[in-house]
C-alpha cells in the first residue's frame, strides 16, 4: 500500500519528449517510502483508490510539479553591499568596484569575521524564501572565505542547513573565486587552493563539486585547469563560472573536463555551444546577475538551443550582483531577458537543474524518483513563469513528506 496518493491533479512531470511539460491532465501521483510509486491518469488507478493508499489527497485540479532546484547560489555570507548598488547607478562598473577593494573582497572580509552561528542564522533566513517557493534541492558555493578555515566554515554551514531543514544541499568548493589580500600572485594562490584548501575541505567530506571564476578579474583558463586537475585527482566533478564578462574560453575548458555545468555564458561564442552539448555540460543561465548589473550582452540562447545544450536557470543568490532568493522570478527573467520559452524555464529549475548538480533521482516526476514535489494554486505550468511577485505554492513534499 502506498503512503499517500494525490488525485485530480494537473501534473507537469517534466519528462523530456512527448507532451509539453510532460503534462498529464486529470492525473494522480502515488508515493511510497519517499519515492514516487505511481504517476499517470486517474483512469489507470482502478475503481477503489482507498485500497491503494493510506492517505488520499484530492488537489482539486491544482498543478503538481517536481520540487524546484536552484543549482547556483552563494547562499552563505555576511555583510551587505547596497553601497555598490548606489555607485553602479552612477556609472561605476563592476570591474572598477572590484579593483577598489569592493565586490567579492568586501564580502570576504565580513564573512571571515562572522561566526558560524551568525552565518548559519543569516543563511537560514534566506533559505526560508527558497523553501516557500517550492525548492527542495539547492546548491551552495563557498568562495567568500579564500583561506582554509573560512572556506571550511562556509561549507560546514551549508551542510548544517541540510541537517536543520527539509532541503537537500549540494556543496561546491569555490576557492578560486578571487585573489585574497594575502596574495599578490595568482599562480601562488592557485597552488594554495590546489595543495591546501581543496584537500582540507575534501578531507572533511564537505565538497560535492569544485568551481572556479574564469574571468579577467578572476583566474585564467590555465589557472583554472590546475584546479580541475586537482579535482579530478580527488574524484570530484567540476563546474565553472565562464564567459560572464568576456570570452576567456572557459566554456571550452569546462567541456574538455566534462564539467557538470558552465554558468553565466553571456559572452559564450556560438561555436562553443556544440562543445557543451557534446560534453553533456549544462548551461546555467543567471538572469538575476544580468539584470542587477544592467548588462546588455545576452547569452546565445538560440545557438545553444540549436546545438542541443541543456539549459538550467538559477538565482545566483549572492550579496553583490544578484541578491535575490526567488526562483520564480529567475524563471520569468530568463524568459523576458533571454528569450527562453516557459517550458524551457521550468525545465531549467527541474530536470536540467538536476543534471547541473549531477543528480539523476530528482527533477522529474517518474516512478522510482524521489518524491520531492510542489503543489501549486495553478492550472497551467506557464502560470508559474508568467507572473511576477506572486507565489502560488500550496504545499511542498520532501522525500514524500508534506512539509509544514
Q: Say what the pLDDT of residue 54 is.
A: 85
Written as nine digits, the cell of 288 is 538575476
Q: Say what the pLDDT of residue 328 is.
A: 98
Q: Is residue 188 scored above 70 in pLDDT?
A: yes
Q: Are 403 and 375 in contact (CB under 8 A)?
A: no
**CATH number attached to the domain at 2-66+364-402:** 2.30.40.10
- Stretch (H or E) spanning 173: strand 168-176
Q: What is the Rg, in whole angstroms, of the alpha carbon atoms belonging to the chain?
A: 21
Q: Say what the pLDDT of residue 52 is.
A: 81
Q: Is residue 47 scored above 70 in pLDDT?
A: no
Distance between CA atoms of residues 45 and 30, nearest Å: 10
Q: Where are the domains of the chain?
A: 2-66+364-402, 68-356
Distance between CA atoms of residues 293 and 277, nearest Å: 28
Q: Say what the pLDDT of residue 334 is.
A: 98
Over residues 158-170, the pLDDT tens digits come to 999 999 879 999 9
Residue 53 confidence class, pLDDT cut points 50, 70, 90: confident
What mean pLDDT is reported for the chain? 96
Q: 68-356: same fold as 2-66+364-402? A: no
Nearest residue to 274 via CA among 303, 237, 240, 311:
303
User: Strands, E, within 265-340: which ranges?
Assistant: 282-285, 311-313
Q: State the fold for domain 68-356.
A: TIM Barrel (3.20.20)
Residue 88 confidence class, pLDDT cut points 50, 70, 90: confident
Over residues 301-336, the pLDDT tens digits come to 999 999 999 999 999 999 999 999 999 999 999 999
Over residues 330-361, the pLDDT tens digits come to 999 999 999 999 999 999 999 999 999 999 99
Over residues 226-282, the pLDDT tens digits come to 999 999 999 999 999 999 999 999 999 999 999 999 999 999 998 999 999 999 999
Distance between CA atoms of residues 256 and 281, nearest Å: 10
* Average pLDDT of the segment spanning 50-66: 91
Amino acid at each position: 500500500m502506498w503512503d499517500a496518493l494525490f488525485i485530480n491533479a494537473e501534473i507537469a512531470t517534466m519528462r523530456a519528449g512527448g507532451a509539453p511539460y510532460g503534462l498529464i491532465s486529470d492525473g494522480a501521483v502515488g508515493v511510497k517510502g519517499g519515492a514516487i510509486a505511481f504517476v499517470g491518469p486517474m483512469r489507470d488507478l482502478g475503481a477503489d483508490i482507498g485500497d491503494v493508499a493510506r492517505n488520499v489527497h484530492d488537489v482539486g485540479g491544482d498543478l503538481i510539479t517536481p520540487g524546484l532546484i536552484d543549482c547556483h547560489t552563494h547562499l552563505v555570507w555576511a555583510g551587505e553591499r547596497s553601497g555598490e548598488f548606489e555607485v553602479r547607478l552612477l556609472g561605476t562598473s563592476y570591474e572598477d568596484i572590484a579593483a577598489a577593494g569592493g565586490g567579492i573582497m568586501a564580502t570576504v572580509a565580513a564573512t571571515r569575521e562572522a561566526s558560524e552561528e551568525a552565518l548559519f542564522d543569516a543563511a537560514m533566513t534566506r533559505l526560508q524564501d527558497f523553501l516557500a517557493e517550492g525548492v527542495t534541492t539547492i546548491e551552495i558555493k563557498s568562495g567568500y572565505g579564500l583561506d582554509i578555515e573560512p572556506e571550511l566554515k562556509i561549507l560546514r554551514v551549508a551542510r548544517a542547513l541540510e541537517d536543520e531543514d527539509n532541503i537537500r544541499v549540494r556543496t561546491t568548493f569555490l576557492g578560486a573565486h578571487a585573489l585574497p589580500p594575502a596574495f599578490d600572485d595568482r599562480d601562488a594562490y592557485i597552488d594554495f587552493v590546489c595543495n591546501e584548501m581543496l584537500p582540507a575541505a575534501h578531507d572533511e567530506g564537505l565538497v560535492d563539486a569544485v568551481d572556479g571564476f574564469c574571468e579577467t578579474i578572476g583566474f585564467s583558463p590555465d589557472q583554472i585547469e590546475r584546479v580541475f586537475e586537482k579535482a579530478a585527482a580527488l574524484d570530484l566533478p567540476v563546474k565553472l563560472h565562464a564567459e560572464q564578462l568576456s570570452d576567456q574560453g572557459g566554456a571550452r575548458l569546462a567541456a574538455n573536463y566534462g564539467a557538470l555545468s558552465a554558468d553565466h555564458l553571456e559572452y559564450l561564442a556560438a561555436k562553443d555551444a556544440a562543445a557543451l552539448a557534446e560534453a553533456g555540460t549544462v548551461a546555467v543561465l543567471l538572469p538575476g546577475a544580468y539584470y542587477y548589473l544592467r548588462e546588455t550582452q545576452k547569452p546565445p540562447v538560440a545557438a545553444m538551443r540549436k546545438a542541443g545544450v541543456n539549459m538550467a536557470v538559477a538565482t545566483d543568490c549572492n550579496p553583490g550582483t544578484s541578491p535575490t532568493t526567488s526562483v520564480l522570478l529567475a524563471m520569468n527573467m530568463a524568459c523576458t531577458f533571454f528569450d527562453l520559452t516557459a517550458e524551457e524555464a521550468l525545465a531549467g529549475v527541474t530536470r536540467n537543474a538536476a543534471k547541473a548538480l549531477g543528480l539523476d533521482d530528482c527533477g522529474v516526476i517518474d516512478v522510482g524518483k524521489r518524491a520531492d514535489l510542489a503543489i501549486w494554486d495553478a492550472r497551467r505550468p506557464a502560470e508559474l513563469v508568467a507572473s511576477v511577485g506572486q507565489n502560488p505554492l500550496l504545499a511542498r513534499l520532501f522525500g514524500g513528506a508534506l512539509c509544514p
